[in-house]
Chains A and B, each alone.
Chain A
Amino acid sequence: MANLFIKCPNCGTTHFQKILAKSLYVCPDCNFHHRMHAWSRIHITVDKNTFKEIDKKMKSADPLGFPTYEDRLKKAMKETGENEAVICGEATIEKIPVALFVMETRFIMASMGSVVGEKITRLFEYALEKKIPVVGFCASGGARMQEGILSLMQMAKTSAAVKKHSDAGLLYIPVLCHPTTGGVTASFAYLGDIIIAEPKALIGFAGPRVIEQTINQKLPEGFQRAEFLLEHGMLDKVVPRSMMRETLANILKIHQLSNKVKKKYRIEQYGLK
């Protein structure tokens, strides 16, 4: 937050950080959705002072003794003030309780190692116990290669937890932000009941550079962007940041209501509880 000015990576215009913050980090000139710090995201999404963080202290080990990993972790912790690349907790959105996770791309590109996998798994287990929906802001470069096979297995672990939560009839809404790729897209990011994305977010399994090198040709305009994926049927909706809270609240409300109606109907018709 120390930067007074921020240059838009899309149109090149420079804005005061304060002005950009007021517009929810959406460029007033070109509507580009800048990456957001996880905490700013939490503040613009949930009801004021309702967020309670869970598993704040969990930190990465270096299970493989991977070259330079310890240093990268230390640097990321110092730069972000966070212990890892995802913040998990419980809050309310328009008074509806939700379990919330927000990924922090400044932390090693929010790649998923053991900690990210464990925190997300625990959050789904917590939401299952409390019978509440999960809302998750996804953004990640993929699996964290510095944790080798253990990071790949986090895809399995998190997906299994999402399945348990889902099988109990509970709602999960992932919001895919710029960029969401690799192992995170191939696991919990794509396993929602309703999948939302931010405008122009890059979303894909393989990164554009890898694809270009593999097929040896230029990629089409807008390839792997949210609007492109919406057209290909891979998303439910692209929602601008200014409408995000309202949209989430609306979906949550409809689902909460349908549960209440069902209960009421069952009681009236059959005397069931």
Chain B
Amino acid sequence: MYKKEIEEQLKELQHKLSNLKSNIPNDDVIRINPLIKELEENAVKLKTELYSKLTPTERVQLARHPKRPTTLDYIKYLIKDFIQFHGDRRHLNDHAIIGGVGIFEGIPVTVIGHQKGRGTKDNIKRNFGSAHPEGYRKALRLMKQAEKFNRPILLFIDTPAAYPGIGAEERGQAEAIAFNIYEMFTLKTQMISIITGEGGSGGALGLGIADRVFMLTNTFYSVIPPEGCASILWKDARRSDEAAKALKIDPEIILQFGVIDDIIDEPQCGAHEDHENAANQIRKKLLVTLEELFQYSIEDLLEQRYNKYRKIGQFREN
């Protein structure tokens, strides 16, 4: 049961505790230490409760948490010598999707991901992680480059949606996403995609075709934002709670449907509280997955990639 207020109170409590600890007069240590210990244990218990048994809506709130690590944060921890490249060579450079090359555990890789901002100014520049067609076209350009130079591609997904605006429509938002999906099925290199925050429908899928797809614990993947679903179904965006439940957007259920391959555990306090450990979890998963993918020939890889998506869906035939 995640509540933002409780999270803040908890943080204040922990802060006070650590202040107290460093200011205890020497002769009081024996008397006060057990008290502090008890309080600390309580805080840990509270924390565990805070981030467990999340309702779908709480999950959505956590996935959108302003302090969650962004793609550039993960790159900082995971990729050595990262160089960012820009532009789609057609129209402009979209700041809502970033990409470049670097070295992951000794392996040259191409990294591409949605990029949300920190703070209002940065978020406006990044358009809150909602890309225009140029973002998707830049991503594809960098993916083709990776294919040419035999680099595995690492994709980080965190977007509310592809941007619904006039310019985006004029310049073919739908075409850009469709074309990415289409081309990603035959890119002759290893591809891994991770949902690190919001998996917002087509905007996510435009970076979402890969040999292996993972979700972090506190993320969701949905065909439509719960608010949008509620306003279409019940003409009332405030019923997003119900919609979030009905849409089944939790990693566990998405995994059961065969849409993703595994869930990457976040640190207990959530990725937003501990960027480095979240990155470490991702590093472990990427390493074993790349090792596995390197064993297959490119032909096998492409066939597996096709079959993985070919199977998805449920219907009746009699």
Contact = CB atoms under 8 A, between A and B. Distances in A.
A126 to B, nearest CB: 14
Contacts of A66: 246-247
Interface string A157-195: 101111110010000000000000011011111110000
A45 interface: no
A186 B242 CA distance: 27
B74 interface: no
B314 interface: yes
Given A149-B257, A206-B173, A60 B316 contact: yes
A153 interface: yes
A55 to B, nearest CB: 8
Nearest to A207: B164
Interface in B58-109: none
Nearest to A231: B170
B249 interface: yes
B25 interface: no
Interface in A177-233: 182-183, 185-191, 203-206, 210-211, 214-215, 219-220, 223-224, 232
B264 interface: no
Interface string A117-152: 110010000000000000000000001010111111
A159 B165 contact: no
A190 B133 CA distance: 14
B312 interface: yes
Interface in A43-96: 57-61, 63-64, 66-67
B300 interface: no
Interface string B158-172: 000011111011111
A154 interface: yes
A8 interface: no
A147 B314 CA distance: 9
A161 B201 CA distance: 20
Contact of B316 (A59, A156, A190): A59
Contact of B314 (A63, A155, A185, A203): A63
Nearest to A59: B316
A145 B229 contact: yes
Given A149-B248, A152-B202, A191 B166 contact: no
A204 to B, nearest CB: 5
A58 B209 contact: no
A211 B313 contact: no
A223 B168 CA distance: 12
A8 B302 CA distance: 49
Contacts of B315: 58-61, 114-115, 118
Given A149-B248, A156-B205, A186-B177, A191 B223 contact: no
Nearest to A66: B246
Contacts of B173: 186, 204-206
A152 B223 contact: yes
B27 interface: no
B149 interface: no
A261 interface: no
B179 interface: yes
Contacts of B178: 155, 159, 185-191
* Contact-residue size bin, chain A (C-beta under 8 Å from the other chain): 35 or more
Given A149-B221, A223-B169, A61 B314 contact: yes
A185 B248 contact: no
Contacts of A206: 164, 168-169, 173
Given A114-B314, A150-B314, A155 B170 contact: no
B296 interface: no
B253 to A, nearest CB: 8
B247 A148 contact: yes
B306 interface: yes
Contacts of B166: 211, 215, 219-220, 223
Contacts of A186: 162, 173-174, 177-178, 181, 202, 205-206
B309 A160 contact: yes
A148 B222 contact: yes
Nearest to B175: A190
B5 interface: no
A36 to B, nearest CB: 22
A11 interface: no
Given A155-B181, A183-B202, A191-B182, 19 more contacts: A61-B314, A114-B314, A114-B315, A143-B202, A148-B247, A149-B254, A152-B202, A155-B202, A157-B310, A157-B313, A164-B306, A185-B174, A186-B177, A186-B178, A203-B174, A205-B168, A214-B165, A220-B166, A234-B172
21 contacts: A58-B316, A61-B316, A114-B314, A115-B315, A147-B314, A148-B223, A148-B248, A149-B248, A152-B202, A152-B205, A153-B312, A155-B178, A159-B185, A163-B185, A182-B202, A187-B181, A189-B174, A205-B169, A211-B169, A220-B166, A223-B169
Interface pairs A-B: 10 shortest CB-CB: A206-B164, A114-B313, A185-B174, A205-B174, A205-B173, A63-B314, A152-B223, A186-B177, A153-B312, A190-B178
Interface of A: 57-61, 63-64, 66-67, 113-115, 117-118, 121, 143, 145, 147-157, 159-164, 167, 182-183, 185-191, 203-206, 210-211, 214-215, 219-220, 223-224, 232, 234
